[in-house]
Amino acid sequence: MARKLPRFEAVGIREGRTFWRKYRGNADVERMLLEIAQAREVMQQIGDYFDCLHKVWVEENLGQLVALEKIRLLLNEQALRQRVLAGLKPPPRKGEPDDRNGPDEPETEVIG
């Protein structure tokens, strides 16, 4: 089993963009930043596939599969982490009003 990573402060969207401008031309830094962006896109795709799989699983009344539940929890954790890194408020809980957008702010799309 792989060793756990030490705790660290994740690179946010703005910070990544700042690094991109600051270290433009440094192939190693550019490659690392692209790797982070690509990994985040893959996590989003995995989340989308999971949603499809979970929907069918529930519709077929196949019970609760522990592996699916663990994947769901990991994906939720990553989605929340992405929202925090992007500076977005978390989505409202069921039954709560959606006040993420102020009266003068445009609608934001929440994925996940």
Question: Would you say the pTM of this structure is higher than 0.75?
Answer: no
Instruction: Check residue 96 and give its pLDDT.
Output: 61
- Does the pLDDT value for residue 109 go beyond 70? no
DSSP letter string, the chain: -PPPPPP-PPPPHHHHHHHHHHTTT-HHHHHHHHHHHHHHHHHHHHHHHHHHHHHHHHHTT----HHHHHHHHHHHHHHHHHHHHHTPPPPPPTTS---SS-TTSPP-----
Q: Which pLDDT tens digit goes with each residue over 28-85?
A: 999 999 999 998 899 889 988 888 888 888 888 887 778 888 888 888 888 888 777 7
Q: Where are the domains of the chain?
A: 13-86
Confidence of residue 89 (pLDDT cuts 50, 70, 90): low
